[in-house]
Amino acid sequence: AQSVTQPDIHITVSEGASLELRCNYSYGATPYLFWYVQSPGQGLQLLLKYFSGDTLVQGIKGFEAEFKRSQSSFNLRKPSVHWSDAAEYFCAVGPSGGYNKLIFGAGTRLAVHP
């Protein structure tokens, strides 16, 4: 069955520190992979996506992610975290059923200390 695992429920980092959020997936074919960010009480904003090609993907707000097929992972990274990055981050995989149905992980809540 297709699934997404985000092992870290909560992560706290200091402002200016580097960040890596983990995402592992189970998928029967070449996946499309996404990272979304959700601020409190808001909808989801797409940070970046991987469909094919270069396995290192650049996104908005200084984020990047690397697709590693051998590890079934798509970890999100940022070299220097800003206080405004505090939010919940969701990894998602698709398509499913031949269209863009997304399967989401449970999310990682990021707190940033000044």
Closest separation in Å from C-beta 98 to other proteins: 7
Based on CB atoms, which residue is closest to other proteins, 72 or 96? 96
Residue with tokens 């997304």: 102
For other proteins, how many residues bind (rule: CB under 8 A)?
A: 27
18-77 residues near other proteins, rule: CB under 8 A:
32, 36, 41-46, 49, 51
The two structure tokens encoding residue 51: 């469909």
Contact footprint for other proteins (CB under 8 A): 4, 6, 32, 36, 41-46, 49, 51, 90, 92, 95-107
